[in-house]
Structure 1
Amino acid sequence: MNLKNLHSVFFLGIGGIGMSAIARWFNHIGVPVYGYDKTPSPLTEALEAEGMQISYADDSNSIPEPFKTSGADKLIVWTPAVPQSSELFKYFEANGFAIKKRAAVLGLITRNMESVAIAGTHGKTTTSSMVAHLLKHAGHNTAAFLGGLTQNYKNNLILHDEGSSESPVVVVEADEFDRSFLHLHPDLSIVTSIDPDHLDIYGDAEQLMEGFAAFIRLTNPGGKLIIHQNAYEKIKQKEIGTTPIFQYGLHSGNIHADNIKVGTTSFTFDYVAEDQRIDGLVLGVPGFHNIENALAAIAVAIHYGLSKEAISAGIATYKGVKRRFEKIYNSDRITYIDDYAHHPEEIKAFLQSVKAMYPDKKITAVFQPHLFTRTRDFASGFSESLSLADEVILLDIYPAREQPIAGITSEMLLPEITSLNKCVISKDNLLAHLQQHVPEVLVTIGAGDIDRLVKPIEKWIRDDKE
């Protein structure tokens, strides 16, 4: 399929962060874009402002005119977040439209470009955006399809300069969900982590590791695999091809950090590799895990010939990704940070960094579990990680694509949480609770619709404190 010959494209689930990046790419090259999503959001509103036509009705009567009939020049891009029982999906399927998953389309878009693919059960969005920023900031011809909105570019799509004489490099976030990353053929691969997740897709941790091994085998043998030490230990016994391997970790590996200094606004560190050292790097997005992400990104930058000065400047100007350790408000009396963490290991890494930054302050964590299956599979891990906070407030589970599972609720996490103060409350009652128990350091955590609470919380803090 020649994507540039398409007459029009329809996205089933256009408001997803990965879907919207591809929609923006088609819109950029002049292909009319239509789409459906369940509810409006700031992202869908932005897409509409960019000229895309979006419906919020799962009804065949809402089908736009170009899709009243099928044809080889029309494409339906689908994400499994929209169930196949959807009326729109059934309409497109029954009428013979070409339906391709988002990952397959991303593979088609990038198949003839040199690519850097970043995979991992956590850390891939930040690392992807770091790689893209380091290259772009240094003037390297770079495109990127990201799983989050970068604070530097206010977008999840970065476009390369088509008029440049330099061949572009495309940075791609490689999603393990639904084995999506197996549609890619990267020249360089990064694997940030391999922790059990998406067991509703893979069945067990062993099959998840097999999926990552298959992804690694897709890497160009003449390229590189840059992999976190912990991930390598889990997968080293599997067949992963002959690509040269470089391991990284916070304190050990071919690539590691030295002279780490923790601050409330930035972390500083030295980059140390077997043949390279860059001292005094200042990362304005705090977190020990973000230093690790930076180590992998810097290794890619060195591969593409960036100077120490360019790398230092790129790290210093990197602003992060929306909802990844995003500091919403900060004063002497209260600090508010929002984060997308939705796996026990992510929550652990996030809260450990928050505690290191604010060792003498009370930390209040508001967490919205994401998916019934994930809550069921990792209940003990969630309880243990959340216990790093002084106070834990649980919201109801965000179901996303799932139906409820009997007995699986947020309440099941409470018994093993060791924090002295812990409770489950509704989203509607959260603000009132916070007003009665004013936190010192407040963090909101989760991948569901907890992001809809960020603005109201910020408004309450500003109205109350200023």
Structure 2
Amino acid sequence: MNFGAINNVYFVGVGGIGMSALARYFVANGKQVGGYDKTPTEITRSLEELGISIHFEDDISCVPSLFLNPEDTLVVYTPAIPKEHTEFSYFKDQNFKVLKRSAVLGEITKQTVCLAVAGTHGKTTTTSILGHLMNECHVPVTAFLGGISENYNSNLILNGTEVTVVEADEFDRSFLTLSPDLACITSMDADHLDIYGSAEELVKSFKDFSEGIKPHGKLFIKNGLPLKGITYGVEDDSDYSAQNIKIDNGSYVFDVKTPQGLHKDFRFSLPGRHNLSNAIIAIAMAAEYGCSYQDLAKALETYRGVKRRFTYQIKTDDFVFIDDYAHHPEEINAVHQAVREMYPNQKVLAIFQPHLFSRTKDFADAFAESLSKFDELMLLDIYPARELPIDGVTSEWLLSKVNNSNKKLVRKTEIIQEIRKSEAQIVLTIGAGDIGEEVKHIKEAFYVKN
């Protein structure tokens, strides 16, 4: 599609993390951008500051007139939008150019060298590390991130158009629109079973993604996955791996083993072996593109993380508050591993908001096992997102499966008073729903100025 012939871009679901990165991209390219979303958020507020017109009522009369010309407007939608959405239906019925977010991303990356990061876990952090490394190594790169980078306070890095770094999302098979030059797969654990129906179908989709890599492209895979490619891992025999790992002043210091030899003294400040694994694959892909290991080591040391990915909100000698987006049992296990490694003798309170009724139902036992590992657990109601309730699937039902004597159901309005009752020195908020909106309130309640 020729985006140059389009002056206006309208987003149905503009506040989504992937959608908002595209909105920023089109603003930077001189387009008039507007959109709808369900509720105001920090993301929508930041978009409005860029001059993007946003409204929060599903009503075509709220759409500014300049976006109502089908000859001059591209409509981009997220698959999370319900089929009966009024505005979405109008644009389809009136023969507008209507494209799914992933299709637009696929079109943008076609004329570039594309580096794509796929996987059920780890892709957002890996993509943001890779985008940062490429940017710091002065590669002319545009990076579309699935989270807000702490380094750039944005989900878009815009420093040229020769290379694109993208998060390849398996939800709704969106990543099959991409044809990357370099791609990695971080994990293929069962997820999105409401879309795929079975773990086997999910794995098949990842295989289909790998077959879409350009003929002379390269596939990197986490060691142990049932695919052929360049392997990576942590303290193992992978083609690329982290070796000689030490913890120094809250950071990992390690060497990188590569097919060409050992490169020493990399420093990385994100806790957790899963994040160290993400750093290794980002280094590997950037090196395969052509960045020097000396430059990559300097760049990695300046990486500060992604908001809501093990983000320290408060960090004092007496109290630590960390926020994380984890919404799958394996992601919760990774958070638990990281917090225990950094704070081995401290009591840990986890406040978890389950995301989707279907995911809670599909992985209830695994959720219960992962949540049982914390010293104390508070469980919020399930965040429905795009779903209707499923009979019998509730937070109370999930909590009954958790093997932890120090557990309770709480409402969002009760979180702060319940934290005050706890003796835990480490507090975690976990989940992909609107629990992130509570973080600022918790931080305000417990932050003590030095």
Which of 306, 310, 329 is the aligned partner of 2:295?
A: 310
- Spell out, residue by residue over 1:295-334, the C-alpha distance to the aligned partner (whole angstroms, 9 max, x if none): 1011012112222221111111110111111111111111
Q: Is the CA contact (8 Å cut-off) linking 2:346 and 2:424 kept in structure 1? A: no
CA apart distance, 1:264: 6.4
Match of 2:45 in 1: 45
Q: 1:403 aligns with which of 385, 388, 394?
A: 388
- For residues 174 and 42 of structure 2, what CA distance do their matches in structure 1 show? 25
TM-score by length of 1: 0.94
- Contact conserved, 1:262 with 1:356, CA < 8 A, in 2? no
Q: Does 1:90 align with 2:89?
A: yes
- The alpha-carbon deviation at position 69 of structure 1 amounts to 3.9
Residue 217 (structure 1) aligned to one of 199, 202, 211: 211
* Partner SS, residue 179 of structure 2: coil
Aligned counterpart for 1:456 among listed residues 422, 441, 448: 441
2:347 and 2:113 map into 1 onto residues whose CA distance is 47
Q: How does 1:430-441 map to 2 (within 5 A)?
A: 430-441=415-426
Aligned-partner Cα distance in 2 for 1:354–1:421: 18
| TM-score normalised to structure 2 length | 0.97
1:381-400 matched pairs, under 5 angstroms: 381-400=366-385
1:65-464 to structure 2, matched below 5 A, reads 65-71=65-71, 73-161=72-160, 168-230=162-224, 232-233=225-226, 235=227, 245-252=229-236, 253-262=238-247, 265-463=250-448
Counterparts of 2:78 and 2:125, CA distance in 1 = 22
CA RMSD of aligned residues (A): 1.4
Contact 1:263 1:357 in 2 (8 A): no
The amino acid of 2:141's aligned partner reads: T
What displacement does 1:413 show?
2.0
Is this contact kept in 2: 1:264–1:357, CA < 8 A?
Answer: no
- Equivalent pair of 2:11/2:36 in contact (CA under 8 Å): yes
1:20 CA drift (Å): 0.5
- Partner Cα distance (1:262, 1:351) in 2: 17
Structure 1 unaligned blocks of 5 or more: 163-167, 237-244
Quick one: distance in 1 between partners of 2:340 and 2:327? 18
Name the residue aligned to 1:36.
Answer: 36
Q: Distance in 2 between matches of 1:310 and 1:113?
A: 23
Q: Whole-Å Cα distance in 2 between the matches of residues 313 and 33 of structure 1? A: 37
> CA offsets, 1:159-182, max 9 Å, x none?
1236xxxxx211011000010000
Aligned residues: 449
| Alpha-carbon distance, 1:438 to partner | 4.2
For residues 349-407 of structure 1, the C-alpha deviation after alignment (integer angstroms, 9 at most, x for no partner) is: 11111111111000111110000000000001111111221111111100000011111
Matched residue SS, 1:146: strand
State the shift of 1:416 in Å. 3.1
* Alignment partners' CA distance in 2, 1:148 and 1:275: 33
Q: Using the alignment, how far apart are the partners of 2:186 and 2:248 within structure 1?
A: 24
Q: Quick one: distance in 2 between partners of 1:6 and 1:186?
A: 25
Seq. identity, %: 47
2:2 corresponds to: 2
Q: Deviations over 1:405-464 (max 9, x none)?
A: 11101122223322331111111111111112142011111100000111111111115x
**Which one is further off, 80-89 or 263-272?**
263-272
Instruction: Report the 3-state secondary structure (helix = DSSP H, G, I; strand = E; otherwise coil) of the residue aligned with 1:75.
Output: strand
1:239 maps to which residue?
none
Local SS of the residue matching 1:439: coil
Choose 144-153 or 299-308, whichever is displaced more. Answer: 299-308
Q: For 2:10 and 2:321, how far apart are their aligned partners in 1?
A: 38
